[in-house]
Amino acid sequence: MDNKGSYKIDIEGSILKLRTSSFRGDRGSFLHSGIYNRELASSLASGAVILIVVFVIAGSFKITFIHFVLAVLLFGALFLFFRTFIFSEPTLLAVFDKGGKIFIKKGLIGRKNLYHLDALMDIKVNRRTFVPENIDGVKLVEKVALQHGTVIPGFGRKEELFTVELEFKNKKQITIFSSELPSEAHDVMLKLKEFLEIKNA
């Protein structure tokens, strides 16, 4: 078993399983990623539930100190619930079976896609560079953040990703892992190639 934090590889006989929450191969949203995160979403959802509960019980009960304590405890429990089950990181599961099949599934309820192993031509690491297109939007967000005494680390910077991609004979390409570290992407590629006995070009 290989567990590097951003990915996990399990090998059981003729089957290799790759699990990761880092498999983005596209640009994403610079503004969205700078302002929104899963912790913030979980906090907002938890706060909304607390407010609804307060409005419901306020007409029937006198709010006391114990209610504030319970609200704080409930907020913590709700935050953990939303962060773990509602706003959890999407995951990818790729299963390589030497019997001749490749299964790829994204998310808990995502559709499982089946590919034939003999259709796999190569596994490669590609380098992708993304630069923010909406420079004015980036500057505006940075200005507002500074006015509030907040700095968003890395916001609006050029982003470089190293992706591990499956290349099939029909020209189809599937990203199964991505990292800002080239060494990490190459490690995943080499482990897959070694298991599947694919020779480096």
Q: What is the DSSP letter of 124?
A: E
DSSP letter string, 135-156:
HHHHHHHHHHHHHTT---TTTT
The whole-model pTM stands at: 0.70
Edge-to-edge, what's the strand order for the sheet holding 120-130?
120-130, 159-168, 173-179
Residues 19 and 59 in one domain: no
Q: Verify that 141 and 189 share a domain, yes or no.
A: yes
158 within a domain of the structure (yes/no): yes
* Tokens, residue 54: 């307060």
- Inter-axis angle of helices 65-81 and 38-58, nearest 10: 140
Residue predicted with more confidence, 73 or 139: 73
Output Rg (C-alpha) for the chain, integer angstroms.
Answer: 22
Q: Which residue from 23, 33, 35 is spatially nearest to 179, judged by alpha carbons? A: 23
Q: Are 104 and 177 in contact (CB under 8 A)?
A: no
- Pair 26, 57 in one domain: no
Is residue 69 in a domain?
yes
Find out whether 145 and 152 touch, Cβ atoms under 8 Å.
yes
Give the confidence band of 59 by pLDDT, cuts at 50, 70, 90. Answer: confident
135: closest CA among 155, 161, 153, 160? 155
Q: What pLDDT, in 10s, does the model give residues 16-52?
A: 999 999 987 665 544 445 556 788 888 999 999 999 9
Classify residue 99: in a domain, yes or no.
no
Check whether residue 173 and residue 138 sit in a common domain: yes
Q: Is residue 106 part of a domain?
A: no
Cα dihedral across residues 80, 83, 85, 91: positive or negative: negative
Instruction: Mark whether 71 and 27 lie in a shared domain.
Output: no
Q: Give percent of the chain with pLDDT exceeding 70.
A: 80
Whether residue 123 is predicted with pLDDT greater than 70 in this model: the reply is: yes
Q: Print the domain residue range for 57.
A: 38-86
How many structural domains does the chain have? 2
Q: Quick one: 47 and 80 in the same domain?
A: yes
Same domain for 159 and 192, yes or no, is yes
CA dist., res. 128 & res. 148, Å (int) = 33
- Does residue 22 lie in a domain region? yes
Residue 47 in domain: yes
139/188 same-domain check: yes
One domain, residues 15 and 60: no
Same domain? 127 vs 190: yes
One domain for residues 32 and 42:
no
Query: What pLDDT is recorded for position 62?
Result: 82
Q: Is residue 105 part of a domain?
A: no
Give the H or E element holding residue 68. helix 65-81
> Are residues 78 and 144 both part of a single domain?
no
- Establish if 92 belongs to a structural domain: no
**Chain Cα centroid distance, residue 171:** 26
